[in-house]
A and B are shown apart, each in its own frame.
Chain A
Amino acid sequence: MDFELTEEQRMMRDMVYKWALKELAPIQEKVDEEDWFPPDFFKKCAEIGILGITIDEKYGGLGSDVLTQTLVVEQMSRFAPGLAMTYAAHSNLCVHNIHRNANEYLKEKYLPPMVRGEKIGALALTEPNAGSDAMSIRTRAVKKGDKYILNGTKIFITNGPVADVFLVYAKTQPELGAKGISAFIVEKDFPGFSVSRKIRKCGMRGSPTGELVFDNCEVPAENLVGQENMGVHVMTSGLDVERIVLAGGSVGMAEQALEYAVNYAVEREQFGQPIANFQMIQQKLADMYARTEAARLLVYRAADLAQKSPRGGKGTELTKMAAAAVLFASETATWVCNQAVQIHGGYGYCLEFPVQNLWRDAKLYEIGAGTNEIRRIIVARELTREAFARKAQR
């Protein structure tokens, strides 16, 4: 088993770390305080060539792997978790899924401008009444001539208020349930599409979250991604990779919270000595490190598996490990960041110190991209699948 990152992965990790420290760390307080999305963010990402990590070179991408993508999200999340999520929603949830599932025409049309940062991407699945129960989405797509007509509402859509290109899931044959879902590419200028509002959040501020309305929205039939009624495969395979990439964000937040906590514990003196000398602080720091490194290994391992797996979804090792990775990493991050706030004491509660921001941000990944409750159900389903099959044969 090889635990070493490749030269290319290490270079990408270190480059993004330095870039995020220089470009994002100084603006994060404003991003969080004002829920501010820096308009030149994607232009800056394009300048360092990180918008098409997993995309073929012929569309302008790097042709690299899922682990490299995960490392980028991890490093960016250390200083700007909300912007890192916005980046991941574009590069992975939207661009990567189109790359994997769309035909050549759509790829040539949509990928290059998105990889260049000229167009911003988003993915639209969740609806007001379809959160954990994703298959119960009600947005309808009805074919009329050479168009699909979409009607419905999507909620909690990362990048919703700023995106140009949306990968949208809708029901083409509602009576077939999960087997009646299709995926479409919708542009923000298509007639009948609108963003009804920007939603304010506890954390991950600066990452714009929106509610989308499709009111007889006209989508060219050629914008169907994959085959009609096969959208669930696009969705579940995509979710596996999405979970791993976002889990990288959890690892980054935990890593950075630990670094802040170590530095503070060494600097801060109480009772005549650095508080790092007290066992109670030492126990906290040791647990924070152990859990963070355990999360990192699981997430990297899952990213490696994602690269090697032809597909994800029900019945695959990938779907189980991806769910476990984000479950463990997200709970680790919330826990580690909470400890970091505690070590900082009163300073940790004040907005000038970044640990409280990391804590608020970290909580999102226990909820977004399938709650931890759903992830546990997936892991258990996969764990028991074979045993149930054997029992049925007896």
Chain B
Amino acid sequence: MDYFLTEEQRLLQEIAYEIVKERIRPVRAELDEKEEFPWAIMRDLAQSDLFGIWIPKEYGGLGMGILENCLVVEQLARGCIGIATTFAASGLGAYPIVLFGSDELKRKYLPPIARGEKLAAFALTEPGAGSDVSAIRTRAVRVGDEYILNGTKQWITNGGEADIYSVFAITDPSKGPRGASCFVVEKGDPGFFFGKKEKKLGIRTSATRELVFNDCRIPRSRLIGKEGLGFIIAMKTFDKSRPGIGALGVGLAQEALDISVEYARKRIQFGKPIISFQVIQHKIADMAMKIEAARALIYSAARYLDTKADAPDASKIAAMCKVFASDVAVQVALEAVQVLGGYGYMRDYPVEKLLRDSKILQIYEGTNEIQRNIIGQELNKEYGRIKESFIR
């Protein structure tokens, strides 16, 4: 289907897909098996200027929006969402600086991120603060011209590999959620350490580590925005990034469908290609419908959010993209394994990895349960403002 993308947007898709074909598909199984970080591919993406997508032009980026990011990560996800997640997580880490950082922070950190010379990471989750992000305990205390950070962050994507971290910490415990702030911490800052690399069900090429702050001292100028803005920064960032998680789901599901249809056309049982059987036709039909619906939602949501910067329903729309497309990704990946049967379950074929990978989309960047909370609560508020009655 034609989504009436601009020439420039189509070019971005082509560049990303070229990398998928030439560089990602040939190595994805090996990177997964060895749990090896995809540095070589990060360099390819850097050479193609893709890291600069949503960084403003004056800081060395392409100055594009959510839609362009979605288009690129969707393509990368056809290759491997472990790699696409590594790429997207750098954008996620940079976004608090893009949105709220001072000119000084932007000038210092955004150009190397845009050039792909340095990776960024986003550090919010803690062992006791997953879905309940307001329960974070990492403290930042101001002493003179410095902040001193203490605490532990968990499951940080690009942890240990990235050079630049957006870290959320409590500056004023008496204010609850309004007492959180966001800081830039650099790899190598005194008192900043990395824990072990987590072993995961899927996206095994992406690095997930614990961050430990033990009297970590950073200059006062590393505060992003103002004290107390932490959760606003986090939420505004998620409004921008969550459609991208949906796009990862669409790309992964598309790959699963592509493999399923190709296999079903070639695989002969009962004397015919299995695609000639209704049970297979209906499976691939459902897969294709769900994928197209998810893609349509994400593209239109992304266009809307790019056009209307202060959209009042941004959180709801972003959450819808994330939940719908990630649920589709898991359903489609499960069916792809089923279409390929015994071959689907074996590591020689790529679909079992798609299944293992897909599950993370329902968990990270806010579990789908939390997204549904957001959607439900926003609906409650919206309808509270409507005077008209629909029940006669």
Contacts and interface: CB of A to CB of B under 8 A. Distances in A.
Q: Do A and B make up one complex?
A: yes
Interface of A: 33, 126, 129-133, 136, 155-156, 199-203, 209, 269-272, 275, 280, 334, 338, 341-342, 345-346, 348-352, 356, 359-360, 363-364, 366-368, 371-373, 376-377
5 contacts: A131-B341, A136-B271, A200-B346, A271-B131, A351-B201
B325 interface: no
Nearest to A373: B279
B389 interface: no
A201 B345 contact: yes
B15 to A, nearest CB: 31
Contacts of A352: 199
B104 interface: no
A346 B347 contact: no
A14 to B, nearest CB: 32
B319 to A, nearest CB: 15
Contacts of A129: 268-269
B364 A346 contact: yes
B132 A368 contact: no
B360 A349 contact: yes
Interface in B340-376: 341-342, 344-348, 352, 355-356, 359-360, 362-364, 367-369, 372-373
Nearest to B342: A156
Contacts of B125: 346
Interface string B64-96: 000000000000000000000000000000000
A338 B361 CA distance: 13
A371 B337 CA distance: 11
Interface residues of B, number: 45
Contacts, number: 121
A253 B355 CA distance: 19
B38 interface: no
B342 A367 contact: yes
Most buried by B among A33, A202, A376: A202
A126 B346 CA distance: 14
Contacts of B154: 346
B355 A349 contact: no
A367 B345 contact: yes
Nearest to A132: B269
Interface string B198-213: 1111100000000000
Contacts of A360: 201, 356
Contacts of A130: 269
A366 B338 contact: yes
A200 B279 contact: no
Contact of A349 (B201, B271, B330): B201
B199 to A, nearest CB: 4
B337 A351 contact: no
A275 B373 CA distance: 14
B135 interface: yes
Contact of A351 (B131, B199, B347, B368): B199
B363 A367 contact: no
A130 B270 CA distance: 9
Nearest to A377: B279
B347 A202 contact: yes
Given A270-B132, A346-B130, A351-B200, A203 B345 contact: yes
B173 to A, nearest CB: 15
Interface string B265-287: 00011110010000110000000
